[in-house]
Amino acid sequence: MNKSQQEAIQKNHYGKLEYWERRYSENDKPFEWYQNYDNLKDIVTQYINHNSRILNIGCGNSNIPEDMYKEGYQWIVNLDFSKAVIEFMKEKFKSYPAHFQFVLADARELPFPNDQFDCVFDKGLLDAVLSGDYSAQNSKKVINHIYRALKKETGVYIIISHGFPEQRLPYLSKSEYNWKVTYSKVYKPDVRTKSLEFDASDLNNYHFIYVCKMDRYQGQTAAQVIGI
């Protein structure tokens, strides 16, 4: 089996529960997918405050929720479908208050009421879903549940992804979602350390941050907005 075939198999595994259960059972050391909090907070904190109710979806064993908690973002629900990692994280943070919690659940069936969260933070979850089987159907389920769980006038869905805009916007910019989608990019952590000379125009050197911000006026005419 050549390297590209191995990578294709590994990529598909990111969408499978069995892969994550095995990974977290074998290694409980924190692993940071894509970016750490220091590289993201200047963008993320534009959309939240210390009273925001945050859903960290596909949390894994990342240090990000702890880093955010220490900066005053204390209302955080961390969710993953891996029993191994949720049990580990519950034990690790058992001394933390009840509003900093870890929940075992599938992002395709979020166990929360409508209009519950100010922010849903997703670092690699949507990417993992899109790498698995039935990616179109499963990604739609995930996004629909996130949309349902967000507060309808003020909620924001923030996605950290390796997917280029032409790969992710078709999933996020559907007419049924009453939000405005913007994106920015951030250098991958290893880009600058590999060489002092790199191609800034090469999109493969970046991760993308997609921000889906609820907009109650989305799709309305100016007359409708001002009540004419």
Count of domains observed in the chain: 1
Q: Is residue 19 part of a domain?
A: yes
Q: Is residue 228 included in any domain, yes or no?
A: no
Q: Are 47 and 211 in contact (CB under 8 A)?
A: yes
Q: Tell me whether residue 15 is in a domain.
A: yes
76 phi/psi in degrees, rounded to 5: -125, 125
pLDDT at 222: 38
Q: Identify the pLDDT of residue 18.
A: 77
3-state DSSP call for residue 154?
Answer: coil
Q: How do residues 65-96 score in pLDDT, each as one tens digit?
A: 999 999 999 999 999 999 999 999 999 999 99
In a domain, 130, yes or no: yes
Residue 93 lies in a domain: yes
The pair of structure tokens assigned to 76 is 């955080």
Of 27, 125, 120, the residue nearest 80 (C-alpha): 125
Percentage with pLDDT > 90 across the chain: 71
In a domain, residue 221? The reply is no
1 pLDDT band, cuts 50/70/90, is very low
Report the CATH number that the domain containing residue 148 is assigned in CATH: 3.40.50.150
Q: For residue 120, give the 3-state DSSP assignment.
A: strand
d(CA 115, CA 155): 8
Q: Which domain holds residue 155?
A: 3-216
Tell me, yes or no, whether 183 lies in a domain: yes
In angstroms, rounded to a whole number, what is the distance separating the alpha carbons of residues 76 and 98?
Answer: 10
Residues in CB range of 153: below 8 A, 6 or more apart: 214, 216
Q: In this structure, is residue 226 part of a structural domain?
A: no
- pTM as predicted: 0.86
**Could you read off the pLDDT of 117-176 as tens digits, one per residue?**
999 999 999 999 998 889 999 999 999 999 999 999 999 999 999 999 999 999 999 999
